[in-house]
Amino acid sequence: MIKGVIFDLDGTLAYTLEDLRTGMNLMCEEMGYPLRTTQDILDAVNCGSLEFVRKSIPEEFQSDEELVTKCHKSYSGHYTNHYLDKTVLYDGIEKTVLTMKEKGLKLAVLSNKGDEHTVNLTKKLFGEDVFDHIQGYKPEFPTKPDPTSALYITREIMGLEPNEILYVGDSNVDMETSRNAGFFTCGCTWGYRDVRILIESGASALVNKAEELLLLI
């Protein structure tokens, strides 16, 4: 029986691509690098903001850790100023999440985006008291698809076991995280990755619109 739901953020709860591109391109302008297209952003996201930045700068600089750190600091500052310019919740998400809360489910957000951005963005979009826990990347936890952070939320925050969790995401990283943690794995088809990728990376179920998530609980 499902008693808790853990959501990915970017591409799952919210469409964030335009603001991610704005933050990245302002960094690129500052550093004198070529600007990134929406497809470039899609190709680079999912593995945490530091790797997102690394994949977005010219290849010859990607192994320079000091430079990557400098670019990451620049990107983070620009993204902080623009992360709500065009970011919106996907259709039906807010109502679906609130219905889950009314049913008494424990709810959490887990993202590879930096923790501050993850917390602030989620609270701006949903309000303060919707989710039991919101967590982005923290240095003490490895990034997804390592299941450590997901299992910490499950057991220490929610007080549940993995077989009681529905995990909802839009990428292969999410599907692998969920499988690694022993959750019921659901891929949403409206996000940043092709349906084929969701299936190949282990989705147990697919949903084409937010309301369909309610059928899984």
Terminal-to-terminal C-alpha distance of the chain: 7
Instruction: Encode pLDDT of 87-130 as tens digits.
Output: 999 999 999 999 999 999 999 999 999 999 999 999 999 999 99
Burial of 141 (0-12, 13-18, 19+ CB in 10 A): middle
4-15+87-216: CATH homologous superfamily?
Answer: HAD superfamily/HAD-like (3.40.50.1000)
Give the model's confidence band at 82: pLDDT under 50 very low, under 70 low, under 90 confident, else very high.
Answer: very high
Q: Is residue 198 within 8 Å of 206, Cβ to Cβ?
A: yes
Instruction: Specify which residues 135 forms β-bridges with.
Output: 110
> Helices 49-56 & 65-82, crossing angle to 10 degrees?
110
For residue 92, what pLDDT is reported?
Answer: 98
Instruction: Encode pLDDT of 180-191 as tens digits.
Output: 999 999 999 999
Token duo for residue 51: 């790797």
**Average pLDDT taken over every residue of the chain:** 96
104-114: burial string, b at 16+ Cβ within 10 Å, e else: ebbbbbbbbbb
For residue 151, what pLDDT is reported?
Answer: 98
d(CA 130, CA 119): 12
Q: Is residue 169 within 8 Å of 146, Cβ to Cβ?
A: no
Give the model's confidence band at 46: pLDDT under 50 very low, under 70 low, under 90 confident, else very high.
Answer: confident
Q: Coil, strand or helix: which one is 43?
A: helix
Q: Coil, strand or helix: which one is 75?
A: helix
User: Within a 10 A sphere around the Cβ of 12, how many other Cβ atoms?
Assistant: 25
> Helices 65-82 & 115-126, crossing angle to 10 degrees?
10
